[in-house]
């Protein structure tokens, strides 16, 4: 569609005639994938062709777009600014030219869901099975995050974030499943010991973090004595250590139940009232393909239904 540099006269729309719009689809793939190889596979180009397209994109936009950083690739500030508007514009264009609506039987898109590793531990396998059965040509990408931020949506091409109800989001949210905090202990602890007995007599395995781990603040506010015997930087390692090495820990109920299928674990209710720890769905506000959103929403609910 002509040269890649803008003309000097006419309106913005007039100058589009001098821009190679065919570069915009591979450009979006590159910005979302942050990899020439993966972007080429996504849009059906060879790697040399994608590299050539990147050179033309850089010339067209007057920016490097992606730069090598260590062993990976990062986006330039200009590329980060482009990501959201470009994705929205191409989705609108697809509707204007009346492309068929989302068809899970044939769609080959990458479906990206962000969540903590503990949420992935609980729902990830069910979600994988659902996608494989209902969208056999699509690819599911699970992105694990610690705390969601605006960058989770704008920088990483995420379709939906699964986040704890305790985390703030400026976007609308909908409950996927409920959860709560429980006490987990080794199966060989005295069976007559109550949850409070376990908390006060067994050494605690605690997630190693700079902030006070919830709900230890509840124990401290009530003057309940406890002793930390070990720290772990990996949340999912905690119940495994408890099951194999003894002690006690505070854990999400869904994680504890899932871990109990892999290791012998005792689960007791926390002895004091606590707020919920439900998991909510927060959709990428730039995602405008409502057919796809409704399909993925239904799929997520179906994956969470057995919980």
* Residues 152 and 206 occupy one common structural domain: no
Give me the pLDDT at residue 106, please: 92
Whether 1 is covered by a domain: the verdict is no
Distance CA 25, CA 90 (A): 8
* Residues 85 and 198 occupy one common structural domain: no
Residues 259-307 have pLDDT tens digits of 999 999 999 999 999 988 999 999 988 777 888 999 999 999 999 998 8
* Residues 234 and 89 occupy one common structural domain: no
Range of the domain at 141: 110-177+278-304
Whether 133 is covered by a domain: the verdict is yes
Tokens of 197: 């007995």
Whether 101 is covered by a domain: the verdict is no
286 to each of 39, 86, 102, 111, 293, how far by Cα in Å?
20, 10, 17, 15, 11
pLDDT band of 100, cuts 50, 70, 90: low
* Residues 209 and 246 occupy one common structural domain: yes
DSSP 210: S
Tokens of 100: 């068929």
Whether 265 is covered by a domain: the verdict is yes
pLDDT band of 251, cuts 50, 70, 90: very high
The dihedrals phi and psi of 14, each to the nearest 5 degrees, come to -60, -40
DSSP 18: G
* Residues 172 and 286 occupy one common structural domain: yes
- % of the chain surpassing 70 pLDDT: 89
Whether 264 is covered by a domain: the verdict is yes
Residues 18-57 have pLDDT tens digits of 677 788 888 888 888 888 888 888 888 888 888 898 898 8
Q: Can you give the CATH number for the domain in which 223 is found?
A: 3.40.190.10
Give me the pLDDT at residue 37, please: 85
Residues 161-187 have pLDDT tens digits of 999 988 888 888 999 999 999 999 999
Any idea of the CA torsion for 101, 106, 112, 116, to the nearest 10 degrees?
A: 120
Q: Per the omega criterion (within 30 degrees of 0), is the bond before 215 cis?
A: yes
Distance CA 31, CA 27 (A): 6
Measured between its terminal Cα atoms, the distance across the chain in Å is 52
* Residues 172 and 282 occupy one common structural domain: yes
* Secondary structure (3-state) at 300: helix
* Residues 82 and 193 occupy one common structural domain: no
Task: Let me know if 261 is exposed, middle or buried by CB neighbors in 10 A (0-12, 13-18, 19+).
Answer: exposed
* Residues 150 and 259 occupy one common structural domain: no
pLDDT band of 6, cuts 50, 70, 90: very low
Q: Can you give the CATH number for the domain in which 62 is found?
A: 1.10.10.10
* Residues 84 and 129 occupy one common structural domain: no
Whether 6 is covered by a domain: the verdict is no
Whether 2 is covered by a domain: the verdict is no
Predicted confidence (pLDDT) at residue 241 exceeds the cutoff of 50: yes
pLDDT band of 68, cuts 50, 70, 90: confident
Strand runs labelled E in the chain: 66-69, 72-75, 110-115, 139-144, 160-164, 174-177, 181-186, 203-207, 227-232, 248-252, 265-269, 279-283
Whether 7 is covered by a domain: the verdict is no
- What's the total number of domains in the chain? 3
Predicted confidence (pLDDT) at residue 92 exceeds the cutoff of 80: no
Mean pLDDT over each residue of the chain, to the nearest integer: 86
């Amino acid at each position: 569609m002509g040269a890649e540099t803008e003309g000097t006269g006419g309106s913005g729309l007039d100058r589009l005639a001098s821009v190679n719009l065919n570069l915009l689809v591979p450009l979006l793939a590159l910005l979302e994938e942050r990899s020439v190889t993966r972007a080429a596979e996504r849009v059906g180009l060879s790697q040399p062709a994608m590299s050539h397209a990147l050179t033309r994109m850089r010339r067209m936009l007057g920016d490097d777009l992606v730069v090598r950083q260590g062993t990976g690739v990062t986006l330039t500030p200009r590329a980060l600014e482009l990501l959201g508007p470009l994705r929205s514009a191409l989705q609108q264009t697809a509707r204007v030219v009346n492309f068929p609506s989302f068809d899970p039987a044939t769609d080959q898109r990458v479906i990206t869901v962000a969540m903590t590793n503990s949420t992935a531990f609980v729902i990830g396998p069910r979600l994988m099975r659902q996608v494989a059965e209902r969208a056999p040509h699509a690819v599911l990408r699970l992105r694990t995050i610690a705390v969601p931020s605006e960058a989770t949506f704008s920088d990483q091409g995420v379709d939906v974030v699964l986040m704890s109800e305790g985390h703030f989001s400026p976007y609308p949210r909908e409950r996927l499943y409920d959860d709560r905090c429980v006490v987990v202990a080794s199966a060989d602890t005295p069976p007559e010991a109550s949850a409070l007995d376990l908390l006060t007599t067994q050494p605690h395995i605690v997630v190693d973090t700079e902030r006070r781990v919830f709900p230890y603040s509840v124990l401290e506010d009530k003057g309940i004595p406890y002793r930390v015997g070990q720290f772990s930087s990996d949340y999912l390692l905690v119940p495994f250590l408890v099951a194999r090495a003894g002690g006690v820990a505070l854990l999400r109920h869904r994680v504890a139940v899932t871990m109990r299928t892999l290791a012998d674990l005792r689960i007791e209710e926390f002895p004091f009232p606590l707020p919920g720890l439900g998991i909510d769905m927060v959709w990428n506000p730039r995602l405008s393909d409502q057919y796809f959103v409704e399909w993925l929403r239904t799929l997520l609910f179906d994956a969470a239904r057995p919980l």
